[in-house]
Chain A
Amino acid sequence: MNYKSIWRPILINRSNRPILSNGEYNVLIIDNTGLYQGKSKIIGRQNGRLYLTNKRIIYFDNDKIDNSIGVELVNIVSLELIDRFLRSSPKVKLFIKSTESTKIISINWTCKICSFINHIKSNFDFNEDELPKCTSCGIKPNKDYLREVIRDSNQKPTTKIVQSSSNGHCPRCTFINHPSIKFCEMCGTELVNFNEELKEDLLDLELLGDEIYTDDKPYIKISFRKGGEKKFYQEVANLIDEISWENIKNKGGVNQNGIKINNNETESRKTNGAGIHALEQIGELQRIQNEVILSTSLDDIEQLMFKYQDLLKLSNSFGLKQNANEFVIPPLNIKKSSSLYHQELSRHISEYLVTYKLTTNSSMITSQDLYAEYNRFLVGSQGFGCELIDSNDFLKSIEMFETLNLPVTLRDYKSGLVVVAPRNLKHIYGEYITEYLKKQEHEFKYLKMRSEMIEEDELNENYGKTISQISKNFNWSYNITIEELEKCIESGLIVIDQSISGTFYYINKFTYIDDDWDDSTEIEEIKLQLIEEQKLITQNLKSEFELKYQNDLIKPNYSFGTIRTPISHSESPSLQDLAGLNFNI
């Protein structure tokens, strides 16, 4: 029998962590593990991290990411701990559900009354389950008849598969269905879908030996080369219990919201009499009273704890609502003491950065800002109960960006400033700045030209940009901008202009020769653009004027001059357009 098909491929994100499905969370992460199928090793899956989530066991290969595979916890029935023996590492044996129960074929039976074709599961238990009714007429079939049908179908399952063809050809009525349809559109017969079966066998796992199981019970083994097996065993056992409990609950087998009723009637006893007996009684009474006080006060603390948990739940639910529409990064779930903690934290931070912070090519964030914002993000997404990252752990994990081959990287500046930036573009920030400055210069020329043409107030500024303007444009912090500008100055891309009004930054033009200074074509273009703009304004003014006075029939003695075409050598040709209008009302 082949049980290798229980392994499934997994999805991996850019920060080299598995993508979890909805409602799934990490329980445990253990490094240095290897996989066995039965008695033999699975080739290429001998050095990896093990992520235990509440739904799956995910093996994440350290050498080749594509080798990562996972197995659903639902498929695990029970487990066994194998202790270290001589040179063999401790292992956990996970028993798989045997195929009898996993491969349930649905069998057709025809209603004797209305001849409608119904389905029944092959594992139908005649002693316990109620007999099914015909979905069409609601009459129960004969028990013996059903038994016969199931027996028949179990005897010849192979012939059935041969009959059906892959392209949705119905084996019963020969109707050709769409390949993705599971039941024949005409007669309702189940179509055997080859595509799906193929997909299941996609994972090509090679074993070091044959697939042999002791006692013929299928199992997989996980070898823990560096320990952690006991914890794993405990957690998996808990999860399996939880899952089976969940199953029972879903079937309605649990009495939910049951409350144990207990009568707390305190009897007050009064002392009467005298002597040693009475004294003893008083002492006894005192003790009981103390006990009551202690227990009630503890009750209060307990109440407080319950309230606290409620509050946490409440804040979590707000967090969920907030992020409902966005892509949510699953929270990190790993113990601080684990050796993998910093690696995982590093991956998580990188994930956070890629999704929220470093979205554009030029974005950067200082390590201080990142530290603060990441912790804020943790609070925001997980509620107030979450554990914040301390600075030592943070530092260790951001230093791991490089070794873990993550999409973000650290940049150090001379002043000791550390910045996190996307990996792909390491040294071209200067280009962004120069590009920005060039654009600003053009803008400035445009504005200046306009102010000259329209005779507005003269612009007093120059086209240089200050640090704050540059930081604002790139959404960088001041420190980053200063450092980047310094780099640009060093490489000669940018020059500075210090005056009483402040320090401005310009593109380096000292290397310009005469032709480079010539911006007459640029100016011409700007002029044309401005003329167009002014023309439009004039046109609008004119039409507005017409609209306003078109009903004014009493004094219609105003006239418009013809719109002259603007003369290009004139300084403000558009104003001459206006001069053509005679507003003599």
Chain B
Amino acid sequence: MSKSFEFPKIHSFPPFYTKQPNQTILNQQLESWMNIVLTYCEFYKITSLSIDGIPKFKSTTEENNALPPIFSNDEIKRNCNSEFKHLILQHLIHQHKAEFINQKKPELGIYIYWRSLVGWSDLLYQYVDKTGQRGAILTIYELTQPDDSEGYIPQELKNLDTEFLIKIIKEVLVKQGKAQLLINEDNEIGGVKIV
């Protein structure tokens, strides 16, 4: 992935980094920020961010510092203060485009849903369905296998954050009755059965 993310022009508009006092403008501003965060995360396949906006987990292999920062722009020497960053993330959560990894410990960071959980689960289900693995017990590792030589696993699922994957299975597939989680003796998730 050699091409780096191209920010929209508003990213180099200095007032973009200050919380606007006018409520209507602020809403527009937050909306723009949300779009930037989502497209940015989608571009780099980032599924979770720390509360300071640093990518926590992504399915690409690039180093974090190789990525352009979201919340600052060196060219115009502007960056968001942490208060405003939190406001933006709050807005994302409010719009159901993000969620805390752990409600009780917000400092752990947030999941970014540039694709909704349902979308993810559909993807997963289709893969399992297509490859005739329905009913079979699969390990989490198998689902996101990085060195999948046959190329069955869709690109999107490769290297997916395991915790994120578990969350998808737990919150959507299990609830829909399409999956079962198997827990081993160490109280860990040993495998998953998708039916």
Q: Which residues of A contact B (CB under 8 A)?
A: 460, 462, 464, 489-490, 492, 495-499, 504, 506, 508-512, 514, 517
Contacts and interface: CB of A to CB of B under 8 A. Distances in A.
Given A509-B10, A509-B13, A510-B28, A498 B18 contact: yes
B175 interface: no
Nearest to A507: B15
A460 B75 CA distance: 9
Contacts of A508: 25
B76 to A, nearest CB: 6
Most chain A CB neighbours (cut-off 10 Å) among B22, B24, B78 = B22
Contacts of B8: 514, 517
Nearest to B21: A489
Interface string B7-24: 011100111111011101
B76 A517 contact: no
B15 A495 contact: yes
B9 A506 contact: no
A504 B22 contact: no
Contact of A506 (B14, B22, B24): B14
B47 to A, nearest CB: 28
Contacts of A504: 14-15
B22 A497 contact: no
Interface in B62-105: 76-78
A466 to B, nearest CB: 12
Given A464-B15, A506-B15, A511-B28, A499 B22 contact: no
B78 A499 contact: yes
A496 B21 contact: yes
Q: Size range of the interface on B? A: 20 to 34
B29 interface: yes
A489 to B, nearest CB: 5
A512 B31 CA distance: 13
Contacts, number: 56
Nearest to A508: B25
Interface string B38-59: 0000000000000000000000
Contact of B14 (A464, A489, A512): A464
A509 B77 CA distance: 18
Contacts of A510: 10, 16, 20, 25, 28-29, 32
Contact of A492 (B15, B16, B25, B77): B25
Contacts of B29: 510
A495 B28 CA distance: 12
B28 A496 contact: no
A99 to B, nearest CB: 75
Contacts of A489: 20-22, 25
B81 to A, nearest CB: 9
12 contacts: A462-B14, A489-B25, A496-B15, A496-B20, A510-B10, A510-B20, A510-B28, A510-B32, A511-B28, A512-B9, A512-B10, A517-B8
Contacts of B22: 489-490, 492, 495
A238 to B, nearest CB: 64
A514 B9 CA distance: 8
Contacts of B9: 512, 517
Interface of B: 8-10, 13-18, 20-22, 24-25, 28-29, 32, 76-78
Pick the 4 closest A-B CB pairs, nearest first. Answer: A517-B9, A495-B15, A497-B15, A497-B14
Contacts of B78: 497, 499
Contacts of A460: 77
B84 to A, nearest CB: 10
Nearest to B79: A499
B25 A506 contact: no
Contacts of B32: 510
A281 to B, nearest CB: 94
A506 B13 contact: yes
A496 B20 CA distance: 7
Contacts of B13: 506, 509
A517 B28 contact: no
Contacts of B16: 510
B124 to A, nearest CB: 34
A119 to B, nearest CB: 82
Given A506-B15, A510-B25, A517-B10, 17 more contacts: A460-B77, A462-B14, A489-B20, A490-B22, A492-B22, A496-B18, A497-B14, A497-B15, A497-B17, A497-B78, A498-B18, A499-B18, A504-B14, A506-B13, A510-B16, A510-B29, A517-B8
Contact of A462 (B10, B25, B76): B76
A462 B10 CA distance: 14
Contacts of B10: 509-510, 512, 517
A514 B10 CA distance: 9
Contacts of B21: 489, 496
A495 B18 CA distance: 9
B82 to A, nearest CB: 14
Contacts of B24: 492
B76 A495 contact: no
Contact of B20 (A462, A495, A499, A512): A495
A504 B18 CA distance: 10
Contacts of B25: 489, 492, 495, 508, 510
A489 B78 CA distance: 20
B135 to A, nearest CB: 49
A465 to B, nearest CB: 11
Contacts of A499: 14, 17-18, 77-78
B18 A497 contact: yes
A58 B14 CA distance: 63
A206 B21 CA distance: 65
A353 B162 CA distance: 75
Contacts of B15: 464, 495-497, 504, 506, 509
A479 B8 CA distance: 36
B71 to A, nearest CB: 14
Contacts of A511: 28
A406 B46 CA distance: 66
A235 to B, nearest CB: 60
B35 to A, nearest CB: 12
Nearest to A516: B9
Nearest to A511: B28
B12 to A, nearest CB: 9
B37 to A, nearest CB: 16
Nearest to B27: A510
Nearest to B13: A509
A96 to B, nearest CB: 69
Nearest to A509: B13
Contacts of A498: 18
A506 B28 CA distance: 15
